[in-house]
Structure 1
């Protein structure tokens, strides 16, 4: 009897050993290497002056984007670069984002911030800050944002959630009272303070000399680029 039991146990052990490689524990069976997906080709979006018609880049040579102060943040990060673009009071302020990406897909621009631009909360000290977000319609990807500051005469239609086209009026350039937020003594000093940020990595500006004239079709920067840090030229 003992011999029979021993023989049966030997057979069972042999069968178990044969089956074991094909019956891994459930936890091991669920382990798998994460699937590697190929990222979509990066598409950039051009940034233009936020002023319709002629304007001037860094008129007095005191606000180059390589060193100009950055005031605002998006997604928890200080914006990538900033510059002052000048035009006398009364010029139309528009979105700085192009209507198509570098790959040709449409870009949708939405208003994400509408607030007095200065810390005092008083529009007389520096007008409106209007934040805009650019999305690549082909992929649904948010590419970047821009803050357009010192906007006067904002239309009632410019509210958070509104979609704006490249020529929709955000307001006008204005002359505000002299303050720590707006140190301007004359109409030639009236300007729009522009700040730009990428959703990921860093955006860039197009380097140029102070006082250079711009048109509303002059590219002044790009979002969607992969620069290594803030305040870098393209």
Structure 2
């Protein structure tokens, strides 16, 4: 579950978003690793899952143009030597606040700690103008100390200096904001309505899942878009 929703909406009202033309979906250029077999050491209890929420404060749009469904959208990044489980583009015009996608409680009610594990330019060029920051986050179940999963939040603009590897973040901690970057192989967007966050998610063991929904569906702060800690048998599976 997420906490302090009222506070989040109060913050969201201060953000400015501008409308513009349609855009093409992102195409990243980044190293990926083969999936291989995932070891099943330290199996997770099936009930101890953590909800994944939109990494954008306030309203956002799921797969706005119908070209980036998690069932087939490219997965670019790896964690623990494995390609991430699923990915999706979540849209909002430039200027919206970007936050952690992980809930503050597990499904069994224990608290969750989220820490920053990756901070680097998201595109292979290493140039922030080509696609902004990639911020990787790791969610742990405080009741057991188990690392449950990770999420990579890509195309983040105006990252605060406090967001560094090792930092602990809450559900409403500002990671930066949505931005508009120059058109490139890493960011094929030609209008503000194409501005988006590319979200990738992975379980520590087994596989995580996404919540299936239609292209262009509206999302809110409390909309669950996926779960980590699930025991799915493979990548790109719906919950």
Match of residue 82 from structure 2: 77
Which one of the candidate residues 205, 226, 230 is aligned to 1:221? Answer: 226
Residues 1:135 and 2:121 aligned together: no
- How far apart in 2 are the matches of 1:114 and 1:39? 27
- How far apart in 2 are the matches of 1:144 and 1:119? 24
Residues 1:152 and 2:157 aligned together: yes
Question: In the comparison of the two structures, how many residue pairs are matched?
Answer: 198
Residues 1:46 and 2:51 aligned together: yes
Match of residue 165 from structure 1: 170
Point out which structure has higher relative CO (alpha carbons under 8 A, 6+ apart): 2
Counterparts in 2 of 1:39 and 1:233: CA distance versus 1, 3 Å: closer
Deviations 1:166-202 (CA, angstroms, capped at 9, x unpaired): 0000000000000000000000000000000000000
Maintained 8 Å contact 2:46/2:229: no
Structure 1 residue matching 2:151: 3-state secondary structure: strand
Match of residue 112 from structure 1: 117
Which one of the candidate residues 163, 188, 194 is aligned to 1:189? Answer: 194
Match of residue 199 from structure 1: 204
Listed as ranges, the gaps of 5+ residues in structure 2 are 1-42
- How far apart in 1 are the matches of 2:75 and 2:135? 15
Which one of the candidate residues 81, 88, 92 is aligned to 1:87? Answer: 92
Structure 1 runs (4+) greater than 6 angstroms displaced: none
Match of residue 60 from structure 2: 55
Please state how far the C-alpha of 1:39 moved relative to its aligned partner: 7.5
Maintained 8 Å contact 2:90/2:196: yes
Please state how far the C-alpha of 1:216 moved relative to its aligned partner: 1.2
- How far apart in 2 are the matches of 1:211 and 1:106? 32
Counterparts in 2 of 1:65 and 1:40: CA distance versus 1, 3 Å: closer
- How far apart in 1 are the matches of 2:200 and 2:103? 15
Which one of the candidate residues 55, 59, 66 is aligned to 2:71? Answer: 66
Residues 1:97 and 2:102 aligned together: yes
Q: TM-score, normalised by structure 1?
A: 0.83
Q: TM-score, normalised by structure 2?
A: 0.81
Q: Which has the larger radius of gyration?
A: 1
Structure richer in helix, relative to its length: 1
Maintained 8 Å contact 2:211/2:225: yes
Listed as ranges, the gaps of 5+ residues in structure 1 are 1-37
Counterparts in 2 of 1:85 and 1:69: CA distance versus 1, 3 Å: same
